[in-house]
Amino acid sequence: MEEKQVLFAGFGGQGVLSMGQFLTHAALSAGKHVSWVPSYGAEMRGGTANCLVTISDEEISSPITENPLMAVILNRPSLDKFENKIKPNGTLVINSSLVDREPRRDDLDVLKLPVNELADRLGNPRGANMILLGAYLEKTKVVEVEKALEYFDVIFKGKSEEVIRKNKEAFLAGVEYARQHW
Amino acid sequence: MEKVLMKGNEALAEGAIRAGCRAYFGYPITPSSEIAEYMARKYPKIGGVFLQAESELAAINMVYGAASTGARVMTASSGPGISLKQEGISFIAEAELPCVIVNISRGGPGLGGIQPAQSDYFQATRGGGHGDYHTMVLAPASVQDMMDFAMEGFELADKYRIPVMIMAEGTLGQMMEPIILRDPVTPGYEKPWATTGCKGRKPNVITTLHLPPEELEQRNRYLKSKYDLIKAREKRAETFMTEDAKLVLVAFGLMSRVAKRAVMEVRKRGIKAGLIRPITLWPFPDEHIVEAAENGAKLFLSLEINMGQMVEDIKLALNGRSRVEFYGRIGIIPNPEEIVGVVMQIAEREGL
Amino acid sequence: MKVVAKRPESLYDKKFHYCPGCTHGIIHRVIAECIDEMGLREKTIGVCPVGCGVLAYEYFNFDMLEAAHGRAPAIATGIKRMLPENFVFTYQGDGDLASIGMAEIVHASARGENITVIFINNTIYGMTGGQMAPTTLIGQVTTTSPYGRKPELAGYPVRMAELLATNEGSAYICRTSVHNPANVNKTKKAIKKAIQTQLEGKGFSMVEILSTCPTNWGMSPLKALERVEKEMIPYFPLGEFKVKE
Ligand SMILES: Cc1ncc(C[n+]2csc(CCOP(=O)(O)OP(=O)(O)O)c2C)c(N)n1
Ligand code: SF4
Ligand SMILES: [Mg+2]
């Protein structure tokens, strides 16, 4: 696999950073080279948050880029900020519950899902990020869904069984959504 | 070997613990606070001293006291806090007390911002406080380096009885990468000078006051000879594709990895570029620079997250032998794409 | 009918950046009202701290400066010595005033420096993400006292009002709270008295105000107000500690 860089962006508090961490953990467990670079400082006071995950078979030279191959966007300001930065023919995943406009570019592979509605339907509003992640992985195979599931317990080490179960459930709901709609 | 995912700041803190550091004094400041928080969690369990000082002024003086007992001791901070510590660092350098001082750096001057920067380069490499002195300065570029350099830092500090500074951009402290956890070491240096109570020996005195001018000059000559020894032995740098390079990028810290990526990209386009990454910022690896020039590098490009500081050391090293240019940002780490653009422009202009 | 209080002239018409339920905002407003009502806006010079109040100059509609961490009393001293006819105050958090700036505040008080200090005690470092402050209560969990503040390790919370009241140079020292409307009113009276003290040239004045930090306490705004009453006031009693005649 050639080097892939994925940007996660949304409001602070939407679980953007932990989504990225989950993917980083999962990819590491699957034997990849990884790095996770967060924006920092501004999240504290209601600002936006983002993180950049790099996954590669080779040692990672630069963990930083202006132009990620993929972006997972959780809110409108993040779409406005990052749409133009995605690499040509890249992938754009959008939380359509909170993003009220269409992407302007036509070269991108655009994948939409109403994450907040799905999370509410599951009765797990805090699981939105895991739903998105499940759908994203099912579609892109950046890390195999089966592998990610295998490492769930490791990644959530120290968390209660209830928390792990709920996260897994949300993750699988996302996988299912992608199978049916994408 | 199994790797674990860690934040840079935590890897550094864990490295210090594995080097046998059992005392930490500090004052919170973004983006360095995770180091203090890590120590606050760990030390009560392993019998170390964590103390949140009322200021960096107080913290560095607590380091002075603890180091004088012979213990391995550390403090960490960022921009404004490092400035406050300078008074204490000057005293520590003169008293030859080994310790590690960490600067998880942000942009200044003044309160500046909290985003990553390398703008404390001058402060770090020129001593920083009053008087004729140096600290050794190590610049990690990865989370693994954060752990390794913390451990190495304590060795160098004890070996030369010198304060060692580790300087890393804020992002490096905040980001996560998988690392190999190193085996703990037991500090092995005798410290007969330590003030631990004079039972069974003559009293030890640690002072930095030298009123008679001859004594003061003697003292400074002595420190100078120590610094010369360190310069002769400890310059470190990593080089990448410099053998046939016509254009050599020079960058340290996380910035060097961005530069490396850019070198790989422009090589694909037929540009003979290379990279020198200083690992010790003081002593500056000038011989690596000179060697690249002797190998035919016509132009050096200093890439920094400041307005141009290391560029002076490169010029000093080259002493007119090749040309030196500079490109820098502040509060933001330039992207590989951006650096590729800069390099291509230069290559075109120079017909490289 | 809902009565909406008119915005004081001393405050810009601008939304605060403070977290929901944080009482920094209420205190800003009370200060502004006092300055308005005493007709001082045009001769006021304020000094901001480093802390969540670092941007207070974006809200106050009069001359303001921004100090290095803890050094506000020293800057205020310089200003006041040059401009004795002006009203000069500092706005400082507990980390700023009682930790890194302890030396500056104690000596400003000891000198009887004719300045007014508004001291926001929220028992924590708000801005840097919830580390222990010198005012953090015994047992209180913060990111640098993860097992609760223990006196054997970190000593005891300082009572600044009581401490500074012992200084001969202190002319008016009071502690108030803003956890309900009655106490907001008392805070306003105290601030006016502190200002009056300065205007009469009597010496150093300080109002310590118990404040909330729902974000770093990990509490809802309502719970945070309750904590002020149930946990903070018993340790930090309200009232006047020094009134020089
Ligand atoms: C010399 C220096 N050290 C550390 C900091 C980092 N710092 C910024 S605000 C702050 C603490 C503020 O706490 P407090 O005064 O209680 O104000 P609050 O945010 O709670 O209102 C610290 C430690 C700094 N800016 N300068
Ligand atoms: S962090 Fe705390 S003190 Fe700062 S604005 Fe938020 S609630 Fe207020
Ligand atoms: Mg506070």
Per-residue model confidence (pLDDT) at position A46: 55
CA of B306 to the centre of ligand 3 (A): 32
CA angle C93, C128, A53 (to 5 degrees): 165
Q: Does A44 touch chain C (CB under 8 A)?
A: yes
Q: C17 CA to chain A: closest CA distance, Å?
A: 7
Structure tokens, C138 = 């015994």
Rounded CA-CA distance B64/B54 in Å is: 15
Residues 6 or more apart whose CB falls under 8 angstroms from that of B314 comprise B250, B289, B300, B302, B324
**Neighboring chain B residues of C69 at a CB cutoff of 8 Å:** 55, 80
Residues B107 and B243 in one domain: no
- The ligand whose atoms approach the alpha carbon of B28 most closely is 1
Assess if residue C37 is contained within a domain. yes
Residues 94-133 of C with CB under 8 A from A: 127, 129
* Residue where a domain stops, chosen among B177, B211, B233: B233
pLDDT digit string (tens) for B78-134?
999 999 999 999 999 999 999 999 999 999 999 999 999 999 999 999 999 999 999
What's the number of CA atoms in the CB half-sphere (13 Å) around residue B348? 6
DSSP, res C202:
-
Q: Supply the CATH number for residue B86's domain.
A: 3.40.50.970
Under 8 Å between Cβ of B166 and B12:
yes
Assess if residue C16 is contained within a domain. no
Residues B206 and B244 in one domain: no
Q: In this structure, are strands B73-77 and B23-26 parallel, antiparallel, or unpaired?
A: parallel
Interface test with A, best of B7, B177, B265, B339 (most A CBs within 10 A): B177
Structure tokens, C121 = 């005690």
Chains that touch B (3 or more CB pairs under 8 A): A, C
Assess if residue C5 is contained within a domain. no
Predicted confidence band of residue C170 (pLDDT cuts 50, 70, 90) = very high
Q: Region of B47 please: left (phi>0), alpha (psi -120 to 50) or beta.
A: left
Per-residue model confidence (pLDDT) at position A1: 65
Rounded CA-CA distance B44/C218 in Å is: 24
Q: In this structure, are strands C170-177 and C204-210 parallel, antiparallel, or unpaired?
A: parallel
Across C22-29, average pLDDT: 97
The residue range of the domain holding C84 is 24-243
Pocket test for ligand 2, best of C15, C17, C23, C24 (most atoms within 8 A of CB): C24
What's the number of CA atoms in the CB half-sphere (13 Å) around residue C125? 26
- For C52, the closest chain A residue by CA position comes to A45
Rounded CA-CA distance C115/C204 in Å is: 5
CA angle B261, B262, B263 (to 5 degrees): 90
Assess if residue C71 is contained within a domain. yes
Rounded CA-CA distance C92/C71 in Å is: 10
**Single-letter amino acid code for the residue at C87:** F
Assess if residue C119 is contained within a domain. yes
- The ligand whose atoms approach the alpha carbon of C224 most closely is 2
Q: Which residue has the higher pLDDT, A43 or C62?
A: C62
pLDDT digit string (tens) for B48-65?
999 999 999 999 999 999
Ligand 2 atom closest to the Cα of residue C122 is 3
Per-residue model confidence (pLDDT) at position C144: 97
Residues B199 and B267 in one domain: no
Q: In this structure, are strands A4-11 and A48-56 parallel, antiparallel, or unpaired?
A: antiparallel
Residues 241-270 of B with CB under 8 A from C: none
Residues B24 and B89 in one domain: yes
Rounded CA-CA distance B342/A147 in Å is: 41
Predicted confidence band of residue A13 (pLDDT cuts 50, 70, 90) = confident
**Residue of B31, B175, B338 lying closest to A63 (CB–CB):** B175
Predicted confidence band of residue B332 (pLDDT cuts 50, 70, 90) = confident
The residue range of the domain holding B262 is 237-350
- For B260, the closest chain A residue by CA position comes to A61
- Domains held by chain C: number: 1
Q: Supply the CATH number for residue A12's domain.
A: 3.40.920.10
pLDDT digit string (tens) for C63-112?
999 998 999 999 999 999 899 999 999 999 999 999 999 999 999 999 99
Please name the residue that has the structure tokens 């809200």. Answer: C59
Residues B87 and B71 in one domain: yes
Residues B53 and B108 in one domain: yes
Enter the pTM of the model: 0.90
* Residue where a domain stops, chosen among B190, B215, B233: B233
**Neighboring chain A residues of B254 at a CB cutoff of 8 Å:** 63-64
Residues B47 and B78 in one domain: yes
Under 8 Å between Cβ of B88 and B60:
yes
| Segment (H or E) for B163 | strand B163-169
Q: How far, CA to CA in Å, does A57 sit from each of A3, A4, A137, A142, B207?
A: 7, 10, 17, 12, 55
Q: What's the residue count for chain A?
A: 182
Structure tokens, B129 = 């406080």
- Domains held by chain B: number: 2
Q: Region of B17 please: left (phi>0), alpha (psi -120 to 50) or beta.
A: alpha
**Neighboring chain C residues of B29 at a CB cutoff of 8 Å:** 128
DSSP, res C229:
I
* Residue where a domain stops, chosen among B189, B214, B233: B233
CA angle B212, B214, B218 (to 5 degrees): 120
**Neighboring chain C residues of B80 at a CB cutoff of 8 Å:** 68-69
Average pLDDT for chain A: 91
Residue nearest atom 2 of ligand 2, based on CA coordinates: C213
Query: What percentage of chain B has pLDDT greater than the value 70?
Result: 100
The residue range of the domain holding A39 is 4-181
Q: How far, CA to CA in Å, does B15 sit from each of B41, B155, B310, B314, C229?
A: 15, 12, 27, 31, 44
Q: Supply the CATH number for residue C138's domain.
A: 3.40.50.970
Under 8 Å between Cβ of C212 and C122:
yes
Rounded CA-CA distance A7/A28 in Å is: 17
Ligand 1 atom closest to the Cα of residue C125 is 13
CA of C21 to the centre of ligand 1 (A): 20
Per-residue model confidence (pLDDT) at position A15: 86
Q: Which of C66, C155, C168 is nearest to C110 (CA)?
A: C168
Rounded CA-CA distance A66/A54 in Å is: 12
Is the C-alpha dihedral spanning B187, B188, B194, B198 positive or negative?
A: positive
- Note whether B40 contacts C143, CB cutoff 8 Å: yes
Residues B250 and B274 in one domain: yes
Q: How far, CA to CA in Å, does C108 sit from each of B3, B5, B279, C73, C169?
A: 54, 49, 46, 6, 8
Residues B202 and B100 in one domain: yes
- Note whether B5 contacts A25, CB cutoff 8 Å: yes
Query: What percentage of chain C has pLDDT greater than the value 70?
Result: 98
